[in-house]
Every structure is written in C-alpha cells, then in structure tokens.
Amino acid sequence: MADRSHDGATGAKPAPRRSYESRIPNLESRLSTGFTLIEILVVVVILAVLAAALVLSTAGSGRRQLEREGEQVRALIAYACEQAELSGREIGVSVGTDGFQFSRQEQDAWLPLREGELRPRHWIGGTAATLSRDGARAEVAAVFPEKPQLMCFSSGELTPFRLDLALGEVPGRVRIEGDPTGAVSLAVVDANAR
C-alpha cells in the first residue's frame, strides 16, 4: 500500500499548512515599534537638504534674471550698432522706466522700430534703470524722449554711455557700458561699487 503522505510525482512530503501569522515572525511586535530614530533622522536630513536647495535657487533666480536682461540689452545695442554701420543710417536707443526702444531717423523725426529684433522691449518687473551719457546723468522717464538718448552712428561709433540695471531687493546690479568705438560691454557690479 502506498504512503499517502508523499507527493506522487516528486516523492516529497507536502509542507504542513501554517497560518499567516506564523509565517511572519513577530508581526505584532514589528507593527507596534513604528519608525526607528535613524529613519526619522534620515527623513529630517533629506527635508533640510531640499529646503536649502529651494532657498538657494530662489535667492539666485533674481540675480540670474537681472544678468540675462543685462546681456539681452548689451547684445541688442551691439546689434543695433552693427545694423547702423551696415545700412549707413543712424539708429537711436531710448531708455525709459518701463523698457527701451530703438528708432531710426526719417527726415526730421525719429520713428520707433516696431518689428524684428529691434522692436521695443520692457524691463522685467521691478527693474530700475539709471543712465549716464558722456559722464553726465541722463533722465530716464516713463515716456521715451522724442530724440533718443544714445546713438549708433553709421560710422561705427557710439554715444559713450553707462546703463545700470537693478532689480528690487537683489544685491548688486548689472552695468552695460558703451564706448565711442562702438564696443558694448557688460559687468556685474557689487552693491557697494559706484
């Protein structure tokens, strides 16, 4: 007579049935302990690192925006001067409290350029602009003046200027300078520098 306690195919005895609780040792004691001190400390450290990264990224974002805006202004003024030299016609640059624009002289009037790369641009919110021309401070008003404050001449020359841009509570400022040879440069200036 065959032993019924063995599996016919493999000849092995089937495993005895155990209850769910007996398969997980100390289930009740593991559920009641909660998190270990190490696990809590790891979570706290991860949260602190994420918070620090968030603070650093938001603090530096205003500075990066200001630098990008300064680079855009520098590049557009340099481009306007190249276009003035190539076309043989002067291009003016007007700076206001809300932004800047380029214009071209048509007979006795300066007409703003409305399309293309030299279209009017607005400052990002909270930007303050200070302009000096030939060493003297120039007025920056809400309305653009009839005659541009800066001039890109067809000879390749440029009105010497210094344009400082500051953004709200962001420390320091961006300085765009143009020299008579037509070169336009950009520098980040410390808050204490003049």
More confident residue, 134 or 85: 85
Amino acid identity at 186: L
- DSSP class of residue 147 equals S
Supply angle C-alpha 152, 158, 162, rounded to 5.
115
State the pLDDT at residue 170: 81
State whether the Cα torsion 154-159-162-163 is positive or negative. Answer: negative
Per-residue pLDDT band at 178 (split at 50, 70, 90): very high
Length of the chain: 194
Q: Give residue-wise pLDDT tens across range 85-129.
A: 999 999 999 999 999 999 998 888 899 999 999 999 999 888 999
* Alpha carbon distance 95, 99 (integer Å): 6
pLDDT (0 to 100) of residue 154: 92
| Residue 81, pLDDT above cutoff 90 | yes
What pLDDT, on the 0 to 100 scale, is given for residue 10?
A: 57
- Computed from CA positions of residues 171, 150, 140, 98, in that sequence, does the dihedral angle turn out positive or negative? negative
Domains identified in the chain and CATH numbers: 66-189 (3.55.40.10)
Strand partners, 100: 95, 121
- pLDDT tens string 37-64: 888 888 898 998 888 777 666 555 778 8
Element of type H or E holding 165? strand 161-167
Residue keyed to tokens 């276009």: 83
